[in-house]
Structure 1
């Protein structure tokens, strides 16, 4: 697992706070399959979720799963022995993140939260112009979803301490990429200050 706190400031090129009136929080793939990577960021991600609830920011969870052995595309080539099959314990969201019954879950079967899903339509219907990206894995589903959000015209905020992956180098590489061309870097404390104080 790799996530970092304040050291991300060295990558920060631009700073901005999210607008709570036009933001949504995306919680990417916090599933049992990724529990060893995700457990260390539970305090940061639950703090971020709570902050967004208090600020009346909609929260959308994604869940990565495959309905069959034929809906995996290139992921089958890359992760043939590690696919997440729908209906298994591994495919379920972790209880620790405390999703509420009325909070939306978008199912996806690739790295992007947008491809083949109703995520963009849902965000547009909610009047969302900005997304805050959290979850796992930093360099795969979180980064791909953040990049797609950016090219679809959403302002992106990328959490440094509520995202995680298998290796610190990969985590930091994503933060450098995000800060350079795609997203404002934030953490759970900066979001709390920006949205609640």
Structure 2
């Protein structure tokens, strides 16, 4: 049996925390000496270490009370549910941070009167994720062709306060898209992460999708409204699928659509040509290169 001071040293918890967990009912009331000092058993210590572990994982005390007495399968189910909750929280904090960064940057930019664009533009970056690179679930070397121009475009856009909105595939077992394609960009995996060469920076936005169309079941529309955006420059992967479907949806929602010709690509040249033709002929979207758009930002001209 060990005193509360010894238990605190073993577990890394403070005596106040240990007493608090006791009062909350997470551990049984300890035995006491004649002088009323608390004495803790090995079982008590192991339980406290479990509580500390679950607190590190950001479970609430009420949730921990259930977990401590749950069988392994129920604990696993709770972990999966909690992972989704944490993901939502991270997205909310990331969004709030991006909004603050965008606001502060725009104030600075406006005070310098550096850029005069008639349209409020955002860059849409679709499915720039590791599963498209060598070794990934949907690897394709054509992805590499768009990374250098996008690096330069994104860097200049950030300097000028142009919002960059990443729309990323994020799948879980049972998603309808997985019936068509092999498993890819599975939530929480390396393959679902954004490629380092075009990785987000502070102030950028990340929106997850499970379907081809980036507007469906996502916060994209809400984000664009908050940013007061009216023009979208599309970049990213699969000209003929996710880029086309999201761009066409944007058109129907009233946005002016611009396609970065060297900033989009797909699995084959014929598929890319089809996607560009579909958007160009049917919707007459504006086309420009990443360099043209960058020069627009630098020289205060506009193609839009």
TM-score (norm 2): 0.55
The residue that corresponds to 1:101 in the other structure is 202
SS in 2 for 1:84: coil
The residue that corresponds to 2:189 in the other structure is 88
1:23 to 121, 130, 136: 121
SS in 2 for 1:131: strand
Q: Which has the higher contact order (CA 8 A, sep 6+)?
A: 1
1:128-167 counterparts in 2 under 5 A? Answer: 128-167=229-268
Query: 2:282, 2:162 → 1: CA distance?
Result: 25
- Structure 1 unmatched ranges of 5 or more: 1-18
Query: 2:269, 2:256 → 1: CA distance?
Result: 25
Query: 1:48, 1:143 → 2: CA distance?
Result: 20
The residue that corresponds to 2:146 in the other structure is 41
SS in 1 for 2:162: coil
Higher Rg of the two aligned structures? 2
Measure how far apart 1:21 and its partner are: 4.6
RMSD: 1.7
Measure how far apart 1:194 and its partner are: 2.1
The residue that corresponds to 2:282 in the other structure is 181
Which is helix-richer, 1 or 2? 2
Deviations 1:129-166 (A, max 9, x none): 00000010111111111011111110000111011111
Which stretch has the larger CA shift, 185-194 or 19-28? 19-28
SS in 2 for 1:133: strand
2:158 to 53, 72, 88: 53
SS in 2 for 1:82: coil
Measure how far apart 1:20 and its partner are: 6.5
Maintained 8 Å contact 2:260/2:289: yes
- Structure 2 unmatched ranges of 5 or more: 1-116, 134-140, 300-304
TM-score (norm 1): 0.83
Maintained 8 Å contact 2:126/2:168: yes
The residue that corresponds to 1:69 in the other structure is 173
In the alignment of these two chains, the number of paired residues is: 176
Maintained 8 Å contact 2:241/2:275: no
SS in 2 for 1:185: strand
Maintained 8 Å contact 1:20/1:195: no
The residue that corresponds to 1:9 in the other structure is none
Measure how far apart 1:100 and its partner are: 0.5
Query: 1:99, 1:21 → 2: CA distance?
Result: 23
Measure how far apart 1:34 and its partner are: 1.1
Maintained 8 Å contact 2:184/2:191: no
Deviations 1:151-195 (A, max 9, x none): 111000011101111101111111122222331111112112222
Maintained 8 Å contact 1:178/1:184: no
